[in-house]
């Protein structure tokens, strides 16, 4: 699903299940929470980017604020970390899969994720810059993300290893 609320709801069960709506249904006794999203907001979302001062689910900035706040309030003693999305093949497209004009290139979404997490002092594992997965390289794409977006088993293993080391060093 997406981090921000979808404005043009075409598939209600999917489009209305943006991240913050799922927090109330999460188990109460969680020790570690890993937030990993944003690529779908770029790839087929239609929410505005907004600004750092937004606090509405209708913008990407605001939805991140609301998500991080909800997690911190429900899990004040848990370890919460954010992972930025990895690179994707179409990260500089003007229009997304739904024909909606993208409000930023993909790196812009990655930067907003990190910016809002920093505001809440939530540690960020920057997979965009540190994963070793760049699908524009054919060899890397074939091994780690054959469709240019979704990790293969080897891609998941690589992300797991990065996350494991990140958590151990917190």
3 state SS of 115? helix
- The C-alpha atoms of residue 109 and residue 42 are separated, in whole angstroms, by 7
For the residues 60-81, what does the mean pLDDT come to?
Answer: 98
**Given a cut of 90, is residue 93 above it in pLDDT?**
no
* pLDDT tens string 5-44: 999 999 999 889 999 999 999 999 999 999 999 999 999 8
For the residues 78-105, what does the mean pLDDT come to?
Answer: 90
Host H or E run for residue 83: strand 79-83
pTM: 0.95
Counting residues of the chain whose pLDDT is more than 90, the rounded percentage is 90
For the chain, give the mean pLDDT: 95
3-state secondary structure 1-60: CCCCCCCCCCCHHHHCCCHHHHHHHCCCCCCEEEEECCHHHHHHCCCECCCCCCCCCCEH
* pLDDT tens string 148-158: 999 999 999 99
pLDDT band at 125 (very low <50, low <70, confident <90, very high): very high
Instruction: Judge contact between 119 and 62, C-beta under 8 A.
Output: no
């Amino acid at each position: 699903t997406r981090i921000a609320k979808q404005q043009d709801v075409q598939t209600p069960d999917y489009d209305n299940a943006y991240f913050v709506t799922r927090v109330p249904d999460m188990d109460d006794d969680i020790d570690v929470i890993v937030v990993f999203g944003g690529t779908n907001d770029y790839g087929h979302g239609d929410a505005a980017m907004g600004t750092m001062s937004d606090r509405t689910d209708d913008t990407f900035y605001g939805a991140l604020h609301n998500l991080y706040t909800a997690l911190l309030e429900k899990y004040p003693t848990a370890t919460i970390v954010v992972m930025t999305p990895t690179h994707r093949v179409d990260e500089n497209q003007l229009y997304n899969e739904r024909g909606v004009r993208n409000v930023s290139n993909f790196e812009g979404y990655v930067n907003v994720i990190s910016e809002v997490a920093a505001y809440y002092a939530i540690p960020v594992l920057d997979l965009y810059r540190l994963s070793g997965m760049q699908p524009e390289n054919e060899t890397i794409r074939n091994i780690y993300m054959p469709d240019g977006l979704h990790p293969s088993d080897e891609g998941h293993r690589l992300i797991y290893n990065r996350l494991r080391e990140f958590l151990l060093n917190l």
